[in-house]
């Protein structure tokens, strides 16, 4: 829907305007702070490509990853390798938590312990997938861990999100042209910037076809009697 060249130009413009990318969500957040956030809902491959681009531009972001999604598997050898490479580039990795999977929020600690064990990485910030009750009380913490809907990140900072394929470019331009009294919390989903398509639906359909082709290739590798 967008493309990686536009994203590269966006990053160049943000840093040119004096915004300073940070992955320290618990540090001092000033008027020039840029919290660049990626909720990885669909594709770790796309996230890895975005992380590589940012690394080459000396920019670090925070990648929030799901343990309960059916779209990818954090403990598969390939996806685990990708996540570790994202981390080794200097990006922050943490949990994209889906509260609708569980009976209560206490299960976050289970995910936190598992994530920290797999990636040997401390979880000190989380993002929420399908936020529900977090929109009614956005200052809920998860076993003492802050989450990205907290007032600190969406009210005391300028929050701009491309959720659902929203065009963030006009909103960012307006922010940069304003008084700039707040730092910027920018949520970017890799699918919209790496995937191909002219709108949200066509982008997701293109990714679906590509993913289906991959699944067929994996079937061939694992079952010699499979005929397509």
Question: Tens-of-pLDDT digits for all 228 residues of the chain?
Answer: 688 999 999 999 999 999 999 999 999 999 999 999 999 998 899 999 999 999 999 999 999 999 999 889 999 999 999 999 999 999 999 999 999 999 999 999 999 999 999 999 999 999 999 887 787 888 998 999 999 999 999 999 999 999 889 999 999 999 999 989 999 999 999 988 886 777 878 877 776 776 676 666 665 766 667 676
59 & 106 share domain: yes
115 & 155 share domain: yes
Give residue 214's pLDDT.
63
101 & 204 share domain: no
Give residue 1's pLDDT.
62
Give residue 227's pLDDT.
72
20 & 97 share domain: yes
How many domains does the chain divide into? 2
Whether the CB-CB separation of 165 and 182 falls below 8 Å is answered with no
Q: Which of 162, 153, 163 is nearest to 183 (CA)?
A: 153
99 & 126 share domain: yes
User: Cα-flanking dihedrals φ and ψ of residue 163, to 5°?
Assistant: -50, 135
206 & 152 share domain: no
Domain CATH number, residue 35 = 3.20.20.370
130 & 211 share domain: no
DSSP states of 130-196 as a string? Answer: S-THHHHSTT--BTTB-BTTSHHHHTSSEEEE-GGG---HHHHHHHHHS---S-EEEE--HHHHHS-
Q: What is the pTM of this model?
A: 0.90
**Tokens representing residue 66 in the block:** 């799901």
97 & 46 share domain: yes
136 & 207 share domain: no
57 & 10 share domain: yes
223 & 153 share domain: no
127 & 212 share domain: no
Domain range for residue 215? 199-228
CA distance 127 to 63: 10
């Amino acid at each position: 829907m967008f493309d990686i060249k536009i994203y590269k130009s966006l990053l160049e413009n943000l840093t040119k305007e004096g915004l300073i990318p940070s992955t320290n969500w618990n540090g001092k957040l000033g008027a020039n702070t840029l919290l660049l956030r990626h909720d990885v809902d669909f594709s770790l491959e796309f996230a890895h490509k975005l992380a590589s681009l940012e690394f080459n531009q000396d920019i670090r972001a925070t990648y929030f990853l799901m343990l309960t999604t059916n779209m990818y598997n954090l403990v598969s050898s390939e996806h685990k390798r990708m996540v570790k490479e994202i981390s080794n580039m200097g990006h922050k990795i943490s949990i994209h938590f889906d509260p609708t999977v569980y009976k209560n929020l206490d299960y976050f600690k289970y995910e936190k312990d598992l994530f920290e064990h797999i990636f040997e990485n401390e979880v000190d910030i989380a993002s929420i997938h399908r936020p529900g009750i977090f929109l009614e009380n956005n200052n809920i913490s998860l076993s003492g861990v802050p989450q990205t809907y907290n007032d600190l990140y969406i009210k005391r900072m300028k929050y701009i999100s491309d959720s659902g394929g929203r065009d963030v470019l006009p909103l960012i331009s307006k922010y940069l042209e304003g008084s700039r009294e707040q730092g910027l919390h920018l949520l970017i989903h890799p699918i919209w910037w790496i995937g191909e398509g002219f709108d949200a639906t066509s982008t997701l359909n293109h990714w679906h076809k590509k993913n289906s082709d991959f699944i067929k290739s994996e079937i061939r590798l694992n079952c010699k009697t499979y005929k397509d």
